[in-house]
Amino acid sequence: MKMKREVLLKLFTGLFKSNDAIIVAGSSFCKELSTFVNIPNFMFVEDEDGVAAAMALGVALGTPKRVFFLCEDYYALKCLDTLSNLAVSRCSNLFVIVFATKVYPDLEFCPTIYGSLSSLKGMLFNMGFKAYGYTGHFTNVQQSKTTMKNILKNLKGPAVGIIELSPRAKPVSANFNHTKMVDAFKDLVVSDIGTSLFNPPTELSEASWQNS
């Protein structure tokens, strides 16, 4: 790992545009990210069951804005069924970013099966995602920023990006006002400030599905 966890997370969360909607899942991951990101763009869902991932799909179906879903590898492995629903959605504005720490949050001695899988990226690709590994791009801050900005600008969903990073050093305790956050996020999603999508989706209103 060439870049420190906090530096990488700050760098990555700084790449989003003001009209992007970002949903974060996992209790401790939410608490960690909430300490250094702009709340109106972010919706922190302290959920471990896959509801947050599906929420990203629900938002992406109803808006042309870019919707990012951020989670750790344990969460992605736990809700593979939900991710398969996202993969077949054909939503070109839906992006999943999996931060692979290879351990359960705040339990460094409990590894996930990420390391034992032949390829999580391959599994997600076979589901229907465009799958990418971004770990190699995070070398130095300035170069990573430029490269990742270009990558995210040209990304077309449903896509998944996997970034390997070191586990959290210590638990983070942070509190956020749920109702205030929900209202701010809803205002952002329903606002008509447009999208930063490189290829605007055309079939969103139809919500067309491969298997329906």
Partner 1 sequence: MVKAKELWATLCMDLGFRLFSGLPCVEFKPLYDTMDPSFMHYIPATSEETALGIINGFWFTGQRGAILLGADNIYRITPDLEKINMAYKIPALIIVPSLKYKLSKSVLTATLKDIDLFSFVEGFEAERTVAILELGGAISK
- Return the ∠ at Cα 17 (arms to 11 and 20), rounded to 5°: 115
Q: Which of the residues 133 through 172 are near partner 1 (CB under 8 A)?
A: none
Residue 75 beta carbon to partner 1: minimum distance, rounded to whole angstroms: 12
Stretch that binds partner 1, among 28-36, 129-137, 164-172, 203-211 (CB under 8 A): 203-211
- Tell me which residues in 17-36 interact with partner 1 (CB under 8 A): 21, 23
Cα separation, 176 vs 14, in Å, equals 20
Strands 130-133 and 159-164: parallel
What is the distance between the alpha carbons of residues 136 and 117, in angstroms, rounded to a whole number? Answer: 19
How many residues can be counted in the chain?
212
Which one of 55-63, 97-105, 112-120, 194-202 is the stretch in contact with partner 1 (CB under 8 A)?
Answer: 55-63
Residue 204 engages partner 1 in binding (rule: CB under 8 A): no
Is residue 58 involved in binding partner 1 (CB under 8 A)?
A: yes
**Which stretch, 47-55, 112-120, 130-138, 147-155, contacts partner 1 (CB under 8 A)?**
47-55
Please identify which residue in 11, 40, 84, 156 interacts with partner 1, judged by CB under 8 A.
84
Whether 104 contacts 59, CB under 8 Å? no
Record the tokens describing residue 148, joined without a space.
């990742």
- Find the binder of partner 1 among 13, 19, 63, 144 (CB under 8 A): 63
Report the DSSP pairing between strands 94-100 and 67-72: parallel
> At what angle are helices 80-87 and 51-62 packed, to 10 degrees?
10
Binding site for partner 1 (CB under 8 A): 21, 23, 43, 45-47, 49-63, 79, 81-82, 84-85, 178-179, 181-182, 185-186, 189-190, 207, 209, 211-212
